[in-house]
Amino acid sequence: MDFFNGKIDAQITPASLQFLAITNPSLSKDEEDSINQVLAFISNEQDEEITDNYKLNKIGIIQGINSLIGNFDNNDSLNYIELDNQLIIFDEFESKYQIMLSLNLTQIKDDGVIEHTSQDIAPVEFLIKMIYQGYNDFRLHNGSFGSMSSEIPIFKETLTKWWTIWFKNLPLGLIENGSLKLYPGFKKANSSQLEAVAPSNSTNFYIFNTSRDNPETYGLLHDSQNNLTIESKLRFLNWIEEQDNYTISSQSLILPQVLKNIKLPDDASSSEIVYDPFKLVFNTLSDISRYSGVTGGVNASVNGVSNGFSSINGYLPSWMGGKSQESGVDEDTDERATDNEEDTNKDMGFLIGKVGDDILEKTVWLQLGVKDEEQKFRVVVFKYFELLFITIYEDGYSKLDDVEFYKDLKQEFVEIGQGIKIDEIKEKNFYFMIYDKFEQSISSNLPDIPNFDDDEVNDLKYFHDLSKSQTQSKMLHKEIIKLLEPELDGSDHQLEKLKRTKNGWWIYKLNHQNIKEILIIKKWQLLHKGGAGSADGIRNKILDNSTSILGSIGKDAKLWLEDYLTKNQV
């Protein structure tokens, strides 16, 4: 990045997490009982004694600044504070619960001069969305904060344990689908509508395409019997997408959190798999390590990890995969899932449901109506090659505990799968994003940010394939986030906008009838083998052939957009 140019000999201390706090100020009546408002406080500071005064001092500064801003503008709310060496992100949930995340910015010491920068971490808008994603994952597996708050000691314990894992597992850079995460929506696959019939007695039925060969056809292919509120639907589908960024298996699905950076090689056997993040998780929770027998420094295989979960099954609440006494599920469920792990490696079979000879259970908290309380539901997941068939049932549906039920369900899924043909869509010479505000869906052919860099590709002056370069992909996603920020906070009402980035991308944004937000992204020119030309010549050629803002990014993109708007008239 530009900031680090010329600082080759500098001493650099990377950005790091400082603390996370969850509070409810209404629990405190005065200064004497102000500590009561602190529901969870998780610190990464090794050299600090984390006293009550330390917690209150950190929290009080943030609350004070937020209150000061509110006195000047009743419509303004505080999302973040950037100090010289620190970034603090703040947001409110369920109208009274506050989540605060503090980061130490990257420090550069060069010739005795100390500077700090946030340029090497994700934009603050992205980090805010990561907090929302964490909250939504928590709520999906536990219910709302408010529904848990009647027993404060248990509530605090659950919050602390769950958010400690989230905090230790949080990456500070742009990852996954990058700028798409700013939209409150689910990824929709661009393919023909399916005439799939939902299994009987299910509350919801989803078909999700996990193939990333063409990002345009990745995502939700079909949903039916959609009885959930849009918030619950998004919460659930975003969790599935997040799971699929890493590894979807019976083991990963029973966990309430997505442990990142555990993408497994295709040829790894179940006995050889090493889940490094479990070292991280269990190191942070010494009591869980003690109960499970899984400790830092031990390369736990799938069997070892599963046995650990099985041994603490009665100790852990539902958020950690434990089964409550009233669930009626055998303590050995997790171990049995591992014993039958080979089923999840086949092209076809249940990931959640009848796994091997036994039934593996997954429960989530969802809402059927806006005025209804969230309630527990059970999820069944069936893998059919690269498709996931996902059904949601009421928790009390008795057939879910009947092994015979899954034989009929499997037959239904296989018949549906045999009738599905994913459209073959030709790859385009540009990228696009379409956010449907009414449907709250996202259509896009932007690939996820890769976890590797190709130096040869990065050296290409007119590089355009984002799937091969983490550096180029991150740079572009940061530019998209800058462009989207005014629109998402309601301060931008322009119908059309065109931006040219420093590293050679055009980004065209169209707000179509205030229902669809469309972005088209393209390099100044897509060079073929043997192509040549100066940057100035390429820019002039584009602008000379342009008759409109849209024309600036090429005829192919213009024709595609006209065709899309014609076929999708609002």
What is the CB-side half-sphere exposure of residue 48 using CA atoms within 13 A? 13
The per-residue pLDDT for 294 is 30
The 8-class DSSP code of residue 160 comes to H
Which helix or strand (DSSP H or E) is residue 93 part of? strand 86-93
Phi and psi, residue 545, nearest 5°: -90, 5
Q: Extract long-range pairs of 22-29: CB within 8 Å, 24+ residues apart.
A: 22/97, 22/98, 22/99, 22/100, 22/159, 22/163, 23/59, 23/97, 23/98, 23/100, 24/96, 24/97, 24/98, 24/145, 24/149, 25/63, 25/96, 25/98, 26/96, 27/152
Nearest to 252 by CA among 378, 403, 381, 405: 381
- By three-state DSSP, how is residue 277 classified? helix
Secondary structure (DSSP) of 99-150? EEEEEEPEEEEETTEEEEE-TTS--HHHHHHHHHHHHHHHHHHH--HHHHTT
2-168: what fold?
Beta-Lactamase (3.30.450)
Contacts of 201 (CB under 8 A, 6+ apart): 393, 397, 399
The per-residue pLDDT for 421 is 86
Cα angle: 299, vertex 301, 305; to 5 degrees:
95
The per-residue pLDDT for 491 is 66
**Domain limits, CATH 3.30.450, in the chain:** 2-168
Residue 314's CB is within 10 A of a number of other CB atoms, namely: 12
The 8-class DSSP code of residue 346 comes to S
Tell me the mean pLDDT per 10 residues along the chain, length 570.
60 93 92 90 84 90 78 65 91 94 93 88 95 97 95 96 94 94 95 72 90 94 87 96 91 88 40 33 33 30 37 37 38 45 67 92 91 90 96 93 93 90 86 95 95 68 73 92 80 81 87 92 62 47 51 81 82
The per-residue pLDDT for 400 is 94
